[in-house]
Structure 1
Amino acid sequence: CRSAVLEARVFWRFVGSMMCVAAACAVLVVWRQRALDRRALEKVRKQIESI
């Protein structure tokens, strides 16, 4: 049977790694959204120029 201290250490290591993964995913989502927004603005700009 593991000690409570070791269990706590493993738990907090897991929580920390999940926080890092969540932060990385959030950064990727923001980056992707900005790229898509730029692409949409470029399409609108081209449509306006063609009028």
Structure 2
Amino acid sequence: MVPLLLVLLLALVLFGAGFALEALWWIAVIVPAVWLLGFLIRPAATGGRRSRWYRW
């Protein structure tokens, strides 16, 4: 019974890690896309200049 529980626990851990890695891949794709959109679509500042969309 214990080996079966260990195998099920291992499968659960690997499934969770696989899901987390999949989510991290999607985040790694979405974040640069949002950054690029924010860089390209930025509002004009006073005086007609293009302003920075970040604070630093």
In which range does the TM-score fall when normalised by the shorter chain? 0.7 to 0.9
Identity percentage of aligned residues = 9
- Answer 1 or 2: which has greater helix percent: 1
Where does structure 2 lack aligned partners over 5 or more consecutive residues? Answer: 50-56
Q: How many residues align?
A: 47
The runs of at least 4 aligned residues of structure 1 exceeding 4 Å deviation read none
Q: Which residue of 2 aligns with 1:29?
A: 27
Q: Which residue of 2 aligns with 1:11?
A: 9
Task: Calculate the aligned-residue CA RMSD, in Å.
Answer: 1.8
Post-superposition Cα deviations, 1:3-34, rounded to whole Å, max 9, x if no partner, equal 00000000000000000000000111111101
Where does structure 1 lack aligned partners over 5 or more consecutive residues? Answer: none
Query: What is the Cα deviation at residue 39 of structure 1?
Result: 0.2
Compute the TM-score of the two structures, normalised by the length of structure 2: 0.72
Query: What is the Cα deviation at residue 43 of structure 1?
Result: 1.5
Query: What is the Cα deviation at residue 47 of structure 1?
Result: 4.3
Compute the TM-score of the two structures, normalised by the length of structure 1: 0.78
- Relative contact order, CA 8 A, sep 6+: which one is greater? 2
